[in-house]
Amino acid sequence: MKKSLSSIGLTILLAAALQAPAQAAEHGHHNHDMKAMPSAAMEHKSVAAEGVINQIVTAENKLKVAHQPIAAWNMGAMQMTFHLAADVDISNLKEGQHIKFMLTNPKVGTYVITKIMGQ
Strand partners, 104: 112
Domain 41-118 CATH assignment equals 1.20.950.20: no
pLDDT at 60: 93
pLDDT at 11: 53
pLDDT at 31: 36
pLDDT at 50: 96
* Helix H or strand E segment including 101: strand 98-107
pLDDT at 108: 85
* 92/90 Cα distance (integer angstroms): 6
In the chain, what percentage of residues exceed pLDDT 70? 61
pLDDT-flagged residues of the chain (< 50): 10, 13-14, 16-18, 20-42
Question: Phi and psi for 55 in degrees, rounded to 5?
Answer: -160, 140
Question: Phi and psi for 34 in degrees, rounded to 5?
Answer: -60, -25
* 101/107 Cα distance (integer angstroms): 19
